[in-house]
Amino acid sequence: MRISVPAETRPGETRVAATPETVKKLAAKHQILVQAGAGLAASVTDDAYVAAGAQIVPASEVWSAEVILKVRAPNAEERAQIKPGTVVIGMLNPFDADNNAAMAAAGLQAFALEAVPRITRAQSMDVLSSQANIAGYKAVMVAANLYQRFMPMLMTAAGTVKAARVLIMGVGVAGLQAIATAKRLGAVIEASDVRPPVKEQVESLGAKFIDVPYLTDEEKQIAQGVGGYARPMPADWMRRQSELVHERAKLADIIITTALIPGRPAPVLISEETVRAMKPGSVIVDLAVSQGGNCPLSELNKTVVKHGVHIVGEPDLATLVAADASALYARNVLDFLKLIIDKEDKLVIDREDEIIKATLLSSGGELLRK
Ligand code: NAD
């Protein structure tokens, strides 16, 4: 079977869907076509792919394979070059109804890896986790770079320097990694989330949990979320959270926000009033910016200074760690491929499989996710 790896064309995308490590495993049984220069932004040379068993091809030859491995959804021009029936695997943005419809109209068997269910068997294919982990780490690095003071407490002959105070809003995969990274750098950390199990996780990493009590059964029940994801909390709980967060934000030097609710705009957690109350020179990194942001002052793809606070609105921080982000993503893709390639190395798509059902956007011209 021919499996291809096109170069990503979306602006700012530096990752690549296969690495020499994963190509080597696939090339034993399949013909692997890698577009010339596909890995360069992730520091992978064409020579490294060739050494792993791939063939380097021009852009014109990359769309005719039976299976296409992508990071982002192919654009209209790319889609037009793909034959009906081709398997396309990537972070295809399953919440984009127009794109889903376009993939169906092109007759593609399109798999959106963001929709992999959160079950044990699918953990090794979970691209949201692998990329969020990297984004959480990089958010702390970006913040530390903009912050004009030390992260750890320092006692020197010239006097003592206080440790930075870091506030993490939303403690899923990215938030937990942000806590762990800030901790390694010596910061003092507080964190908030809606879901009850998070408190213990936050405390086990040596950070303080900002407890917003649940006052009604409804609040308690909504806070459980669905399938590991949060649901929008009632307005009264959000107001109480916001009051507490406002007080903690006044003391914070760095705030990293990661709060998301699947398929909905991100909840507003750091209001303009709170930004105004923060210390000059403090930093906010808003990882939810592409879903509208957890701070209304953050701007997509920009770092701005508002009320003396640096606000970073970089939507895909994992792209700034392109080599490792690609390495982990490529392993997710490889594990997904094992699900649809049988022992005879043929494509077998079991429509009854839970992971297939959740990720398959379109097949045979049929739109499976609206
Ligand atoms: P996410 O990216 O969807 O959201 C980030 C965090 O924001 C979540 O923790 C969410 O509860 C929080 N949030 C939402 N609204 C908020 C609000 N108003 N205030 C504060 N926080 C708010 O989450 P995620 O990183 O995908 O992880 C969600 C959970 O799923 C975690 O517990 C994670 O460990 C779990 N998970 C399980 C598996 C698996 O079982 N295979 C895989 C990945 C993640």
For every one of its 370 residues, what pLDDT tens digit does the chain have, with 9 covering 90 and above? 999 999 999 999 999 999 999 999 999 999 999 999 999 999 999 999 999 999 999 999 999 999 999 999 999 999 999 999 999 999 999 999 999 999 999 999 999 999 999 999 999 999 999 999 999 999 999 999 999 999 999 999 999 999 999 999 999 999 999 999 999 999 999 999 999 889 999 999 999 999 999 999 999 999 998 877 899 999 999 999 999 999 999 999 999 999 998 878 999 999 999 999 999 999 999 999 999 999 999 999 999 999 999 999 999 999 999 999 999 999 999 999 999 999 899 999 999 999 999 999 999 999 998 7
pTM beyond 0.90: the answer is yes
Query: Half-sphere exposure of 293 toward its Cβ, with a 13 Å CA cutoff?
Result: 19
Instruction: Kindly give the distance from the C-alpha atom of residue 172 to the centroid of ligand 1, in angstroms, as a whole number.
Output: 4
Cα distances (Å, whole numbers) of residue 292 to 204, 301, 305: 31, 12, 18
Instruction: Kindly give the distance from the C-alpha atom of residue 225 to the centroid of ligand 1, in angstroms, as a whole number.
Output: 9
Q: Which residue has the tokens 């040379």?
A: 45
Q: Is this prediction's ipTM beyond 0.90?
A: yes
Q: Measuring CA to CA, which residue among 248, 331, 325, 323 is closest to residue 282?
A: 248
Going by alpha carbons, the residue nearest to atom 18 of ligand 1 is 267
**For the CA atoms of 207, 212, 218, 223, what is the dihedral angle to 10 degrees?**
-20
| Ligand 1, pocket-test mutation among 173, 238, 239, most atoms within 8 A of CB | 173
Write down the catalytic residue from 47, 121, 123, 345. 123
Q: Cα angle vertex 11, ends 289, 287, to 5°?
A: 20
Query: CB within 8 A of 358, min separation 6: which ones?
Result: 115, 116, 117
